[in-house]
A and B are shown apart, each in its own frame.
Chain A
Amino acid sequence: MRVSDQMLFQSVVASMQRQTDALFQLQAQVSSGKRINQPSDDPIGQPLVLNYGNTLAATDQYLRNIESGNSYMTSADSTLQNVSDQLQRAHELAIQMANATYSSADRADAAKEVKEIFNQLIALGNTSVDGRYLFAGDQTKTIPFLDQGRYIGTAVALPVTITAGVNDRMTLSLDGVTSTVTLPAGNYATGATLSGMIQNAINTDPTFQTAGVSASVTFDTNHLVVTSNATGGNSSAVPTGGTALANLGLAAGTNQPSGTYLGDSNEVSLLIGPNTPVVTNLPGDRLFKGVGVTGGVDIFSSVSGLQVALQNNDVAGIQTALTNISAAQDQVTNERALLGARLNRMDATKNMLSDFKTSITQFKSDIENVDLTKAISDLSLQQTTLQATQATAARILQTSLLNFLK
């Protein structure tokens, strides 16, 4: 066939361009390490790569969730270990002091140790991690267990007028000591003056002073709060009678002795897989107060029962407390077992997810990543082809009849 010079030039140029383009593609693959640099490189592989990427991101998140849950739950577990230790010590003391060979003085001394055990249990119940209280249910910003007993009054209309002989008597049971306090007469217009007056009256009462008990009284928004200054199992402040109670809103208020639970019973979960929640907390009322547990006991009242029985040299009381404390120890052990089971599950899931992650990463890499060895050898081959084309082009373009006509 006839070959015109334009055909020759165009064909040579087209070949070189085709090969330079192929070289360009290979070079892009080698430098990015990926076979798929844009969706059109592999329209079937690209969505798979995206899906695998999404799965990997989700798996990483579940692993992070497990880490977060783990740190929380491990703290709870070690706290419960301490609780068990404290209860064991109380148990031992109870057995010891139930023995008739001990005197009331010995028992009074033991009561002091039990009081400290009580305070320690309160502190353990109030453990927080990263600003979150572990055993408070959903109320993670509120301190769950009261260490000092208090009485929260109902709403009071200011000003309050105390008139001698009419409404100036208040009978208060403070840490187990009862006395009737006479309030100074007067017109109290602000919450501060009212609460200050009552506090002073309580703390200057001779009975309370002799017993060494005192209280703090504050005015919160619109009601009075009377708080015992003592800690321990029998810390409480309960108005029991008197003419002053009605005006002061202390007749129908809420009594919260030490060990009262201020949180709620809700469980908090984390996701360790799609639609796979795991509960990560132990609500304090269930754990420490036995709420919702068959045969459950209130750990704090068990220990405070022991403290009071020892203080009162009450052997029968010590026996009762011993029974309760044993039940409390079982309760803690059961809850710990529940926690332990959850921790094991999280651990197993973590291992499974790590293996899963490795597989998915492999699948993704198989589709997405370029086989570097093959790509580099393809690159060399392509370079050689291009050079050959260029060399032959140079040859062909130079041949012309004019070279031979002189």
Chain B
Amino acid sequence: MPSIFGIFNIGKLALFANQRALSVVSQNIANINTPGYSRQDAVLQSTEPVNSSPGQIGTGVQVTEIRRMFDQFIQDQLTSEQSNLGRFDVEQGTLSRVESVFNDSQGTGLSQSLSDFFAAIHDVANNPQGIAERSALLEKTKTLASQFTTANGQLQQIRKDLNGEIQGVIGEINTEATQIADLNSQIRQAEIAGQNANDLRDQRDNLLNSLAEKIDITTIKGDFGQVSVLIGGGKPLVEAKAYTLRGVADADNSGFLNVVLDPGNGATTDVTASITGGRLKGLINLRDNVVPGYINQLDQMAAAVVNEVNQQHQIGYGLDGSTGNNFFSPLAPAATGLSSNTGTETVSASVNNPALLTFDPYQLTFAGGNYTVRNLTTGASTTAAYVNPTTVTFEGLQIVINGAATNGDTFNISAHQGAAGSMALAISDPNKIAASSSANGVPGDNSNALLLAQLQDKAVTGLGGTTFHDFYSQYIGQIGSQSQSAQRTLTAEKVINQNLTNQRGEVSGVSLDEETTNLIKFQRAFEASARLITLADQLLQTILDIKTS
């Protein structure tokens, strides 16, 4: 009776197969909302037939494989788009925050304060002997200065916050890299034993997406389901095990962090410049290029206001006959050496001729026994042999160098750096405001006050030949334009992401209707298979009943 027992067998195998298929369907239904889950499919195949007459007879069904429905190409695309998404998200958020530092749309911003400042100067010109107008001017000046210092403070804080975030992101990257390495080894063990590590792969893909959002990665598939992760410039982050990223303070960048890859054998590599995507790229770019650019322009504007007003004020006379007074605290040019300098020289900078200041960045370098002072924006420079000590005057700056210099030493020199943060009134006595152009003209002469008021319309050389207001308007326009561009780029990127996610969902997503249908399908098959066994049993019973009597 091989055929009746064959039917038993077929029934038994069918029961097992359908039961297995049902558990796969249950798994799908249970994980319908799991992010990154790829639906699984039980692959049914008929078992090996046996030779018989008149032909081969089938022996049943089996589940040969639980297959993960998955498109690697779409997944790879989705992973790489995460880097863009992370970067644009950070840029949009930070630029939006930068925008809110300058609240001119409410009529209380820096533009208004600047107008009020000049209006107060006009009022002093209208009544040069009046103390009330002079006191009012001092108050308006304090407001203007505090607008500059507050804006500067907030921009600096944004930089610090970006730096803190970089530290946090580096930590998260390290955690995820370690988890990916763990999953790698688990998947390897499973797949060596011939298993499909479907759920483990899903988890790993999730982690790769999350990692890609933080830093741009390239993945390389290896044997037994291994995935190696490379970061910027082809450096490995995860191979057989995970390496660590570290934040190392850079003394030449205000102590902000550089990103360094540590493979654990002591040979660390600085990868800051080779990161090209992900949140880390956005954070680093904003912290080191974009926001410092904004701070620099604010400094230029503050320095120009201080410089022009002071020059005009010094040649005027106050009500008490005093002259030569600064209205604002004067500019304090700075010379900063790089941490890689090896010489013992000291460099100091001061203002030699305020009318010639350009508010460009300068660099002092030593090479071949000569020193060179170069304007980094225009390229203009002056060179001479270095003797100890040396005093150089160049474009309104005076630079004094003392001590022994080594070739290759570099100093960054700036007349305007920090001007916005340190802008302050230098006068507290209203009588010292220099409205008069001559000592004899006191108290009725207002010609110096008129000249001060007309600074509002002056084309300032240090600001590229624009007025203070025009410079500020362009500045705000630039910020607005970059912020708007970041918003649009993010929106476009989100659409791309949504499309890719939808494509992935088409292949790997779970459809409740489909799974419910499958449930019914396999349930009926299970019922039918059980019926087979009952039938086979009845057949056998019938055979056995032939002999009884």
> A interface vs B, CB < 8 Å?
1-7, 10-11, 14, 34, 36-44, 46-51, 53-54, 57-58, 60-61, 64-65, 68-69, 130-132, 136-141, 264, 266, 268-271, 274-275, 277, 281, 368, 400-402, 405
Partner pick for B510 among A4, A43, A274, A401, CB 8 A cutoff: A4
Are B33 and A6 interface neighbours, CB within 8 A?
yes
B80 within 8 A of A: no
A-B contact pairs, 23 of them (CB 8 A): A2-B507, A4-B506, A5-B511, A6-B32, A34-B105, A37-B105, A38-B99, A38-B483, A39-B105, A43-B481, A43-B483, A47-B474, A48-B473, A50-B111, A50-B476, A51-B473, A54-B111, A57-B112, A58-B456, A65-B126, A140-B444, A271-B453, A274-B457
**Residue B479 CB within 8 A of the other chain:** yes
State whether A68 touches B481 (Cβ < 8 A).
Answer: no
The answer to whether the Cβ of B273 comes within 8 Å of any Cβ in the partner chain is no
Kindly list chain B residues whose C-beta atoms are within 8 Å of the C-beta of A269: 446-447, 450
Q: Chain B 88-116 against A: per-residue CB contact (8 Å), 1 yes, 0 no?
A: 00000001100110101101000110111
How far is A167 from B502 in the complex, measured between Cα atoms in Å?
120
Say yes or no: A68 contacts B479, CB within 8 Å: no
Q: How far apart are the CA atoms of A271 and B446 in the complex, in Å?
A: 11
B116 to chain A, nearest CB (A): 8
Q: A47: which of B444, B456, B476, B510 is its contact (CB, 8 Å)? A: B476
A7 in contact with B100 given A47-B474, A405-B516 (CB within 8 Å):
no
Answer whether residue B127 sits at the interface, using C-beta atoms and an 8 A cutoff. Answer: yes
> Cβ of B196 < 8 Å from any Cβ of A?
no
Report B539 CB to chain A, min CB distance, Å: 34
- Closest residue to B478 on the A side, CB-wise? A43
Of B96, B122, B130, B506, the contact of A61 (CB 8 Å cutoff):
B122
Interchain CA distance A228-B116 in the complex, whole Å: 51
Given contacts A43-B481, A47-B476, contact A68 B444 (CB under 8 A): no
Let me know if B185 is at the binding interface, CB within 8 A.
no
Inter-subunit contact B105/A6 (CB<8 Å): no
Q: Would B444 and A53 count as touching, CB distance under 8 A?
A: no
**How far is the CB of A52 from the nearest CB of chain B, in Å?**
10
Min C-beta distance of A162 to chain B, whole Å: 38
Check if B309 is an interface residue, CB within 8 A of chain A. no
Shortest Cβ gap from A351 to chain B (Å): 20
> With an 8 A cutoff between CB atoms, is B118 at the interface?
yes
Nearest CB of chain A from residue B137's CB, rounded to whole Å: 13
Asked if B505 is an interface residue, CB under 8 A from chain A, the answer is yes
Residue in contact with B479 in the complex, picked from A5, A39, A130, A281, CB distance below 8 Å = A39
A51 and B105 contact, Cβ closer than 8 Å, known pairs A4-B506, A132-B444, A271-B125: no
Which among A7, A46, A65, A266 is the interface contact of B477 at CB below 8 angstroms?
A46
Check: B354 CB closer than 8 A to any chain A CB.
Answer: no
Q: How many A-B residue contacts, CB cutoff 8 Å?
A: 193
Q: Specify which chain A residues have a CB less than 8 angstroms from the CB of B6 in the assembled complex.
A: none
Cβ of A4 and Cβ of B511 under 8 Å apart?
Answer: yes
Known: A39-B480, A50-B472, A140-B129. A275 touches B457 (CB 8 A): yes
Q: Are A270 and B441 in contact (CB under 8 A)?
A: no
Q: How far is the CA of A14 from the CA of B497 in the complex (A)?
A: 12
Q: In the assembled complex, which residues on chain B have CB atoms less than 8 Å from the CB atom of A37?
A: 105
- CB neighbours of B447 from chain A (8 A): 269
Q: Is the CB of A68 within 8 A of B473?
A: no
A266 to B104, CA, bound (A): 42
Whole-angstrom CA separation of A49 from B472 in the bound complex: 12
CA distance A343 to B483 in the complex (A): 50
Q: A7-B502, A54-B469, A136-B444 are in contact. Are A42 and B480 (CB under 8 A)?
A: yes
The docked-state distance in angstroms from the alpha carbon of A361 to that of B122 is: 22
Q: With a CB–CB cut-off of 8 A, which chain A residues contact B484?
A: 39-41, 43
Tell yes or no: B487 within 8 A of A by CB.
yes
Contact of A43 among B446, B480, B509 (CB under 8 A): B480
Q: What's the minimum C-beta distance from B244 to chain A, rounded to whole angstroms?
A: 35
Q: How far is the CB of B497 from chain A (nearest CB, A)?
A: 10
- Complex: how many Å from CA A47 to CA B487? 19
- Chain A residue nearest in CB terms to B34: A6
Q: Is the CB of B510 within 8 A of A40?
A: no
Report A-chain residues with C-beta under 8 Å of the C-beta of B115: 53-54, 57-58
Contacts of B99 in A (CB 8 A): 38-40
A171–B502 Cα distance when bound, in Å, is 117
State whether the Cβ of B56 lies closer than 8 Å to any Cβ in chain A.
Answer: no
Give the one of A50, A53, A57, A60 with max B CB within 10 A: A50
Closest 10 pairs (CB-CB, A-B): A4-B509, A39-B480, A43-B480, A43-B481, A57-B115, A138-B444, A40-B483, A140-B444, A47-B473, A47-B477
B545 at the interface (CB under 8 A from A): no
Which of A36, A38, A51 is the one whose CB lies under 8 Å from B470?
A: A51
Question: CB-CB < 8 A to A46: which residues of B?
Answer: 104-105, 473, 476-477, 480
Q: Which residues of A contact B111 (CB under 8 A)?
A: 50, 53-54
A50 contacts B480, CB within 8 Å? no
Pick from B33, B440, B474: contact of A138, CB under 8 Å: B440
The residues of B that contact A2 with a CB separation of less than 8 Å are: 505-507, 509, 511, 514
| CB-nearest residue of chain A to B110 | A50
CB distance from A24 to the nearest CB of B (A): 14
Q: Are A138 and B501 in contact (CB under 8 A)?
A: no
